[in-house]
């Protein structure tokens, strides 16, 4: 099993490097153009590093990629949420499904046909169709300041929930799983984040084992993002490849590392860290909306 996981991880890293190299050359040749408002030459490298770190945390804890990355890109680059969110969703589509597969190969979760874990992922994904489509329709109609405010409030709330439910355990319930899927998909479609904290934390409260919950969330989140990407492309007509390329490159490279980390690390310690970081990001985002920073 370890050899299979290593082989998958190595193949993924090589594919990511090839993808990143070809994309960079296309960038330099002028086939892919930058977007207005981003002129710093090393910005692509910064985006790669941010994507790597955020996806590493996400694939390790089942939360943290879009929740942290969207407000960070808003704060650091000053981009509009509708520029960031579709790019984040596409990168999460690729990394989420890949992470789910690698978690299965590593034994962190069981996605064999008929397994409970696969059924939970299926229910979450089915709920995502409704929640994400509604969220995209709402996000498109909102002014930029309102969407940024929603992101700030949502991120802050999630951070508080993560920290306040650290030691709580509840019985398993399909109703809870269904509700989690709808709420989390709406958050994902609205902000590019908010899926993992709700679904992973909710599964823990619903009686799912921690490592199982992380693998389930990775797969369900990736499939949920597919709905969001299709919806945004239908409405906006295109994606921001200046963001998509470094996001995909950085995020994919972190997945194999995160998969092995889950087998070794005590996720409770990292969960405290992500909870605190999420609260701080939520506060910073709201302060930026009101013009205090």
Q: Which of 87, 119, 71, 73 is nearest to 278 (CA)?
A: 71
Separation between Cα atoms, residue 158 and residue 288, nearest integer Å: 19
Q: For tokens 């397994």, what's the residue?
A: 115
**Regions in the chain scoring below 70 on pLDDT:** 1-42, 62, 168-171, 193-194, 197, 201, 205, 265-271, 274, 293
pLDDT score at 32: 46
Segment holding 83, helix H or strand E: helix 81-106
Residues 196/148/270/111 CA torsion (nearest 10 deg) = 10
pLDDT score at 25: 53
Q: How many residues make up the chain in this entry?
A: 293
pLDDT score at 3: 47
Separation between Cα atoms, residue 231 and residue 219, nearest integer Å: 19
Kindly tell me the sign of the dihedral angle through the C-alpha atoms of 273, 279, 284, 285: positive
pLDDT score at 36: 46
> Cα-atom radius of gyration of the chain, to the nearest Å?
18
Q: Which of 69, 27, 5 is nearest to 250 (CA)?
A: 69
Question: φ and ψ at 282, to 5 degrees?
Answer: -60, -45
Separation between Cα atoms, residue 135 and residue 125, nearest integer Å: 15
Q: Which of 216, 164, 166, 167 is nearest to 195 (CA)?
A: 216
pLDDT score at 37: 46
What is the per-residue pLDDT across 146-175, written as a single tens digit (0 to 9) for each?
A: 877 887 887 788 778 778 877 766 667 778
pLDDT score at 31: 47
Residues 197/199/200/204 CA torsion (nearest 10 deg) = 120
């Amino acid at each position: 099993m370890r050899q299979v996981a290593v082989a998958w991880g190595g193949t993924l890293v090589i594919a990511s490097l090839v993808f990143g190299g070809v994309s960079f050359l296309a960038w330099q040749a002028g086939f892919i153009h930058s977007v207005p408002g981003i002129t710093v030459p090393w910005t692509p490298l910064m985006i790669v590093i941010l994507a790597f770190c955020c996806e590493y945390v996400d694939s390790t804890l089942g939360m943290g990629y879009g929740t942290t990355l969207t407000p960070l890109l808003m704060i650091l680059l000053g981009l509009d949420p509708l520029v960031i969110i579709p790019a984040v969703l596409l990168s999460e589509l690729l990394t989420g499904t890949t992470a789910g597969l690698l978690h299965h190969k590593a034994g962190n979760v069981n996605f064999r046909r008929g397994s409970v874990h696969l059924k939970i992922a299926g229910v979450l994904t089915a709920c995502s169709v409704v929640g994400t489509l509604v969220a995209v329709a709402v996000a498109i109609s909102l002014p930029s300041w309102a969407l940024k405010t929603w992101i700030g409030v949502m991120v802050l709330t999630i951070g508080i929930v993560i920290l306040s439910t650290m030691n709580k355990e509840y019985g398993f319930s399909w109703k809870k799983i269904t509700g989690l899927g709808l709420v989390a998909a709406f958050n994902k479609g609205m902000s590019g984040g908010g899926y993992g904290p709700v679904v992973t934390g909710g599964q823990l409260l619903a009686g799912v084992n921690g490592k199982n919950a992380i693998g389930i969330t990775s797969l369900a989140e990736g499939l949920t993002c597919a709905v969001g990407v299709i919806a945004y492309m239908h409405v906006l007509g295109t994606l921001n490849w200046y963001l998509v390329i470094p996001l995909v490159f950085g995020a994919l490279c972190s997945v194999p590392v995160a998969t092995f980390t889950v087998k070794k690390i005590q996720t409770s310690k990292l969960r405290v860290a992500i909870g605190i970081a999420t609260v701080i990001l939520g506060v910073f985002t709201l302060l930026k909306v009101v013009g205090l920073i």
